[in-house]
């Protein structure tokens, strides 16, 4: 397992490379050009600049998260081809600086969805929270109008500057079914994966977070059957998964250890974090420790270990602790604690394995 840590870039992250360097066993940063709009070709100078910054601290830049997919590709519009061409050019450029894995997602309109970015936990820390009834009973267009009138009432990802785009996007997706989305994803993969193969870059799709339809939008990367279907769309060792325990794990029917065991050779990137699921389906992000949440993180790490996982892993989100001011879910402290928990499990398993042999 090769440990990496997400870093949003100089001036864009409260965490510094100097700090990340002091977390045991982190060999690379997970990065992206966050100011590049989806669909555009990434400029080489900017790519090289991140590489230079990372290498100054001894980090590799093997993992990019994410090269975002333009909505026209997900919608299957005729304009998609030019965005797919740009995507291919970006893959080629990233290969030139040694990138090995590109994480992306195929969620319509929104990436991850939460209703509260700072839910207070019993111990005084705060964490990302999802309230099912709030999302289920919401008419998105109604909400768009409501926010336009009262900017104090908002949701993560619904910032006023996105509002105008939101209503037209909801309109565009009105008749798009899950099967349409599968179809559009296959079209995208059939073009992208051959380029990834030639350039030795694994394309690792991130599951939908949460793994069910939100606001009536279709979502398909949600459970074991669908992961199987996804991997067969283009059956190549370069068509891979980012197996995110916290995203898939928000549905108690998803057994993450089982998924790791089934898909191990196609997992290029592991996101490891815990969530506590309540009886009504709400969930909150917790510390990584197994007993703090609903996911058996020990079994998940064990599943990777059993499979001699040599891919990349990151601690994913953390709580906000010790009064840290940071990007939601992306503080230094709790993610560093998460890494030490993962290493604790991993090193113990390594030692037992050596003693047994």
Distance CA 25, CA 90 (A): 29
Catalytic residue numbers read: 206, 244, 271, 316-317, 330
**Dihedral Cα 152, 66, 12, 244, nearest 10 deg:** 70
Least distance to ligand DNO, CB of residue 149, Å: 29
Reduce the DSSP state of residue 62 to 3 states and report it.
Answer: strand
Contact 73, 40 (CB under 8 A): no
Instruction: Report the residue from 31, 83, 105, 210 that binds ligand DNO according to the rule CB under 6 A.
Output: 105
How many chain residues are in contact with ligand DNO, going by CB under 6 A?
Answer: 12
Contact 128, 285 (CB under 8 A): yes
Least distance to ligand DNO, CB of residue 107, Å: 7
Least distance to ligand DNO, CB of residue 24, Å: 22
Nearer to ligand DNO, 226 or 348 (CB): 226
Instruction: Report the residue from 99, 103, 227, 267 that binds ligand DNO according to the rule CB under 6 A.
Output: 103
In 3D space, the residue among 271, 272, 205 whose CA is nearest the CA of residue 238 turns out to be 205
Show the binding pattern over residues 108-137: x = contacts ligand DNO (CB under 6 A), - = does not. ---xx-------------------------
Nearer to ligand DNO, 66 or 184 (CB): 66
Reduce the DSSP state of residue 85 to 3 states and report it.
Answer: helix
Enumerate residues 40-69 that contact ligand DNO by CB under 6 A. 65-66
Instruction: Report the residue from 119, 202, 206, 335 that binds ligand DNO according to the rule CB under 6 A.
Output: 206
Give the DSSP per-residue string, 1-12. Answer: -EEEEE---TTT
Enumerate residues 181-200 that contact ligand DNO by CB under 6 A. none
Q: Helices 224-233 and 178-198 sit at what angle, rounded to 10 degrees?
A: 50
Query: Per CB under 6 A, which region of 87-95, 97-105, 139-147, 221-229 contacts ligand DNO?
Result: 97-105
Least distance to ligand DNO, CB of residue 354, Å: 33
Enumerate residues 226-285 that contact ligand DNO by CB under 6 A. 244, 271
Chain residue whose CB lies nearest ligand DNO: 66
Residue found under tokens 């830049």: 61
Give the DSSP per-residue string, 149-182. Answer: H-TTS--TT--HHHHHHHHHHHHHHTT--HHHHH
Least distance to ligand DNO, CB of residue 348, Å: 27
In 3D space, the residue among 261, 351, 278 whose CA is nearest the CA of residue 129 turns out to be 278
Distance CA 147, CA 141 (A): 10
Nearer to ligand DNO, 282 or 316 (CB): 316
Query: Per CB under 6 A, which region of 99-107, 115-123, 251-259, 278-286 contacts ligand DNO?
Result: 99-107
Reduce the DSSP state of residue 50 to 3 states and report it.
Answer: helix
Distance CA 57, CA 17 (A): 7
Give the DSSP per-residue string, 28-49. Answer: EEEE--TTSPTTSPPPHHHHHH
Nearer to ligand DNO, 139 or 263 (CB): 263
Least distance to ligand DNO, CB of residue 99, Å: 15
Q: How crowded is the C-beta side of 215, counted as CA atoms within 13 Å?
A: 25
Nearer to ligand DNO, 103 or 181 (CB): 103
Least distance to ligand DNO, CB of residue 247, Å: 7
Query: Per CB under 6 A, which region of 98-106, 161-169, 221-229, 348-356 contacts ligand DNO?
Result: 98-106
Q: Is 104 in the site for ligand DNO (CB under 6 A)?
A: yes
**Residues interacting with ligand DNO, by CB under 6 A?**
65-66, 103-105, 111-112, 206, 244, 271, 317, 329
């Amino acid at each position: 397992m090769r440990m990496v840590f997400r870093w949003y870039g100089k001036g864009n992250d409260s965490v510094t490379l100097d700090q990340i360097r002091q977390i045991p066993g982190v060999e690379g940063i997970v990065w992206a050009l966050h100011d590049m709009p989806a669909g555009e070709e990434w400029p080489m100078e900017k790519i090289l600049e991140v590489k230079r910054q990372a290498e100054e601290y001894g980090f590799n830049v093997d993992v990019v998260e994410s090269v975002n997919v333009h909505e026209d590709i997900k919608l299957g519009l005729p304009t998609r081809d030019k965005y797919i061409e740009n995507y291919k050019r970006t893959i080629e450029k990233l290969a030139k600086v040694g990138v090995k894995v590109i994480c992306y997602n195929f969620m319509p309109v929104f990436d991850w969805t939460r209703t509260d970015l700072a839910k207070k936990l019993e111990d005084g820390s705060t964490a990302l929270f999802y309230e099912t009834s709030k999302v289920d009973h919401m008419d998105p267009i109604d909400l768009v109008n409501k926010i336009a009138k009262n900017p104090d009432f908002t949701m993560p990802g619904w910032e006023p500057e996105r509002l105008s785009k939101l209503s037209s996007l909801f309109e565009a997706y009105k008749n798009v079914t899950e099967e349409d989305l599968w179809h559009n994803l296959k079209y995208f993969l059939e073009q992208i994966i051959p380029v990834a193969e030639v350039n030795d870059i694994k394309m690792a799709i991130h599951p939908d977070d949460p793994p069910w339809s939100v606001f009536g939008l279709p979502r398909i990367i949600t459970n074991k059957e669908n992961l199987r279907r996804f991997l067969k769309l283009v059956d190549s060792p370069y068509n891979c998964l980012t197996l995110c325990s916290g995203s898939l794990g928000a549905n108690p029917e998803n057994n993450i250890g089982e998924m790791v065991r089934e898909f191990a050779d196609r997992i290029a990137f592991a996101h490891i974090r815990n969530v506590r699921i309540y009886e009504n389906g709400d969930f909150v992000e917790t510390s990584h420790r197994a007993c703090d949440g609903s996911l058996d993180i020990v079994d998940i790490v064990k599943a990777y270990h059993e499979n001699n996982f040599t891919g990349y892993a990151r601690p994913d989100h953390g709580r906000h602790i010790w009064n840290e001011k940071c990007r939601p879910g992306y503080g230094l402290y709790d993610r560093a604690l998460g890494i030490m928990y993962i290493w604790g499990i991993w090193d113990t398993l390594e030692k037992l394995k050596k003693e047994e042999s």
